[in-house]
Amino acid sequence: MNPSSPISRLLLRLGLVLALAPFVALMAFNHPFFDDYRTAYWTHEHGLWGMQQWFYLTWSGRFTSTFFMTVLNPVTYGWLEGVRPAVFLVFGLQWASIAFLLRTIFQTVLRADFAWSTAHWATALLLALFCNATAAPFSFLYWFCGVVVYQLTLLSLLTFAALALRAGWGPAASQWRCAGWACAPLVLAVAGNELTMLQAVPVLALLGYALPRAARPKWWLWLAVAGATAAAAVLAPGNWLRVAATAPPTDPLHAYRWLVLGPRTAYSMALFLIQPLNALSLVAAAAAGLWLGFGSATSATTRLVAGWPRRHWWALLLAFGALHTVGFLLFRYVLVGPPLHRARNEILLLMLVTVLALAWLVAQLPAVAQLAPRFRRFAPALVALAGLFVVGNVPVAWRELVTAAAPFDAQMRARYALLRAGAGRGQHTVTLPPLRLPTARLLMPLRQFTPPRNLEFDIDLTPGCDGNINDVTERYFHVPNVCCDPQAPDIVAQH
């Protein structure tokens, strides 16, 4: 089957819609989780602006993320259902940022024939591969604070890169305007979390190498903005308190981690890349990049890329390698362990985007372009997608959507009603049953359905009256004691 034929394109697009649909639909059943409540009641205690200072001094220098998690957190204002449109909006912005970057690279910089529709379908492919393969969908797609810290900062970095490229190669009349607008997402990315702060370094370095000489003042502007933002974030007293609390030196190699930092970083990265779904998803992204590169390049584009001196390719590959190594390096140094699941989410999505873009460029090389007829004949993208979406998260998402999403929503609403009623009556203890669901792993990860080694968070109350979720529930709903009893009667039937 020729992947360029109308029938093949229709089947591919239908497959992408079916792959993404359950993940987006599950957002309609979303509910707040741990830090959503915690940052909300801290904001109630310290005030909207006092909270920014208190958090900066006691826990984190991520001042842009802190702002979104507090001032713009729907839970702060008692709108618990507000996390649903919020995560849906950020997911849409993530989609737009990837499409914007791809179109800017290929259409604006390389002058290829790359329409908006092509950019959006390529983005749909990347997001479908990501949702299907990612280790912890909950903390990247559904948990509001996780979405802010990882998804919002990543889309900010991608948006900065796109605006920076337009400032260098776009229409002359809008170049300085794009350069100025690029400062806003750059601040969001650098101060949003430490991972994107480090990822911004190779991005800025590559821009410094590649931008036309006339655009050098713009690069110095971004360098100054990024440097000032990074200094404000890194020097936050709360950063060092958080590191001491979350990464105690329990690893026997902690004191000597500099000596083994390189090998352990490489080891973490190798473990990440050899995971079957990660590896096959990256292969599918590369195949899609080659397919798009064969179909959308113009003769001028091919001459431009083929005429690059070897040092350009070395600079590009060096930036590519640094971009995807810094995350593993960061966690091996700070935690002396592999990246957290929620950080691996971000790393995987960024890898998928950059692998597709790099494969598109490789497709312009004369030696590779000769393979185009053979490549189209085998339709690798369709074959890869058909198998991946059967064994990954897609069937799990459909199963949760059909069987567990509505009961989860009903049970959580009933909990809120009981907690609010108990607070209104001044009740000392509110006892609730655990969530009773037929399956739960993506939107509502529960320990009884997920092996502990694969579980990043158990979102349910802890049996008994003690536990982190119990504690944040008590403080947010103003109930002195929230307990969980497996023998408690069904609360949905009571409401």
DSSP bridge partners of 431: 483
Closest CA to 437 of 17, 15, 29: 29
pLDDT exceeding 70 applies to what percent of the chain? Answer: 95
DSSP bridge partners of 484: 432, 464
Mean pLDDT for 16-26 is 96
- pLDDT computed for residue 380 by the predictor: 53
Name the token pair of 492: 């949905």
Quick: pLDDT tens for 330-344.
Answer: 999 888 888 999 999
Quick: pLDDT tens for 223-280.
Answer: 999 999 999 999 999 888 887 777 666 677 777 788 889 999 999 999 999 999 999 9
Asked whether residue 1 carries a pLDDT value surpassing 60, the answer given is no
Give the HSE-up count for residue 271: Cα atoms under 13 Å, Cβ half-sphere.
12
- DSSP-derived secondary structure for 399-461: HHHHHTHHHHHHHHHHHHHHHHHHHHHT-SEEEEPPP--S--SSSS--TTTS-GGG-S---SP
The residue with tokens 């492919």 is: 125
Mean pLDDT for 149-172 is 97
CA distance 12 to 3: 8
CA distance 288 to 327: 25
- How far is CA 382 from each of CA 125, 291, 320, 369, 389, rounded to the nearest angstrom? 11, 11, 27, 20, 11
- Per-residue pLDDT band for 2 (boundaries 50, 70, 90) equals very low
Asked whether residue 456 carries a pLDDT value surpassing 70, the answer given is yes
Asked whether residue 494 carries a pLDDT value surpassing 90, the answer given is no
Phi, psi of 293 (to 5 degrees): -65, -40
What do you get for the CA distance between the two ends of the chain, in Å? 55
Phi, psi of 260 (to 5 degrees): -120, 15
CA distance 58 to 233: 13
- Per-residue pLDDT band for 495 (boundaries 50, 70, 90) equals low
DSSP bridge partners of 464: 484
- pLDDT computed for residue 4 by the predictor: 58
CA distance 342 to 333: 17
- Read off the DSSP letter of residue 340: P
Asked whether residue 440 carries a pLDDT value surpassing 50, the answer given is yes
Lowest mean pLDDT among 12-16, 207-211, 341-345, 423-427: 12-16
CA distance 307 to 488: 72
Asked whether residue 189 carries a pLDDT value surpassing 50, the answer given is yes
Contact (CB, 8 A) for 184 and 140? no
CA distance 92 to 117: 15
Please give the mean pLDDT across all residues of the chain. 92
- Per-residue pLDDT band for 377 (boundaries 50, 70, 90) equals low
CA distance 234 to 481: 38
- pLDDT computed for residue 446 by the predictor: 94
SS3 3: coil
Asked whether residue 387 carries a pLDDT value surpassing 90, the answer given is no
What's the residue count for the chain? Answer: 495
Sign of CA dihedral 234, 53, 245, 476: negative
SS3 465: coil
- How far is CA 377 from each of CA 10, 120, 291, 366, 382, rounded to the nearest angstrom? 17, 24, 11, 19, 11
CA distance 54 to 238: 9
Output Rg (C-alpha) for the chain, integer angstroms: 24
The residue with tokens 């093949």 is: 8
CA distance 77 to 4: 50
Quick: pLDDT tens for 94-137.
Answer: 999 999 999 999 999 999 989 999 999 999 999 999 999 998 99
- pLDDT computed for residue 117 by the predictor: 94
- pLDDT computed for residue 367 by the predictor: 85
Quick: pLDDT tens for 294-353.
Answer: 888 788 888 888 889 999 999 999 999 999 999 999 999 888 888 999 999 999 999 999
CA distance 332 to 469: 28
CA distance 100 to 119: 7
- pLDDT computed for residue 342 by the predictor: 92
- pLDDT computed for residue 102 by the predictor: 98
Asked whether residue 216 carries a pLDDT value surpassing 80, the answer given is yes
CA distance 32 to 406: 16
Lowest mean pLDDT among 162-171, 317-326, 372-381: 372-381
- pLDDT computed for residue 85 by the predictor: 98
CA distance 398 to 392: 11
- pLDDT computed for residue 368 by the predictor: 85
CA distance 58 to 52: 10
Consecutive H or E run containing 429 = strand 429-432
CA distance 395 to 108: 38
Quick: pLDDT tens for 27-79.
Answer: 999 999 999 999 999 999 999 999 999 999 998 999 999 999 999 999 999 99
| pTM of the predicted protein model | 0.95
Residue 488's identity, in one-letter code, is A
In sequence order, the 6+-apart residues with CB closer than 8 A to the CB of 240 are none
Contact (CB, 8 A) for 290 and 360? yes
CA distance 150 to 141: 10
Phi, psi of 237 (to 5 degrees): -55, -35
Name the token pair of 97: 């940022």
